[in-house]
Amino acid sequence: MEINVSETPERWVILKSHNNRYKVFGTWSGGYLDGDRWRLNSGIKKVEQDEDFYYFIGFSGSCYKCHKKRYGTATSFGLSILNKITEQGNGKLKLIEDVDDWGNVIHDVICCGYFEKLLQNFRWFSIQTEEGEKLCMPYILTENEKIRVNNCPVCGKEVRSVEIKPELLSHCITTSRCQENDY
């Protein structure tokens, strides 16, 4: 597994935001010449793992390499910063208890996260694959034409070929909104 690691926290915890996004909060204890430090990543886009480590890939492209047995904060300074972040967030960020497998909790995110929030705002058309599977795809309707949504309107990432989890679609579209050959 070839991963470009940008941070390896001494200790780490996961914070969950009000919109079901996750972030890594990493802490390091300092020495004689340098103080304790902490970092909060941009948000977890993807989780990979090996026998000893999780690799949390963030939206910014950073990768936090976190030892599976080092969940927690490294110092009282790190804990005080964590408490400030959660208190000042007014419930928008919450500390999550450690779990056996973060890969089963944090699922890959399509892009910046806003595309999934916008799903109910699109119109949908469907096609049938050669295997008989029905695929629903988003488009927007202008005065004169239907425009296929190929990129996230917020971050610009290509979303044309991504697979959207059925549970996400079921919350925002119904069969009647995904018309056969409606495009």
Is residue 4, in this structure, part of any structural domain at all? no
In this structure, how many other beta carbons lie within 10 angstroms of the beta carbon of residue 35? Answer: 10
Write down the pTM of the prediction: 0.64
| 172 and 136 share one domain | yes
| 92 and 118 share one domain | no
Q: Does the pLDDT of residue 26 top 90, yes or no?
A: yes
pLDDT digits (tens, 9 = 90+) for 122-149: 887 777 778 777 677 788 888 888 888 8
| 70 and 124 share one domain | no
CA distance 90 to 51: 36
Count of structural domains, the chain = 2
CA distance 41 to 24: 5
pLDDT digits (tens, 9 = 90+) for 29-82: 988 888 899 999 988 888 999 999 999 998 888 999 999 999 999 899 999 999
CA distance 97 to 109: 21
- Domain interval for residue 33: 11-104
The overall average pLDDT reported for the chain is 81
Q: What is the pLDDT of residue 27?
A: 95
Q: Does the pLDDT of residue 85 top 70, yes or no?
A: yes
| 149 and 88 share one domain | no
Is residue 5, in this structure, part of any structural domain at all? no
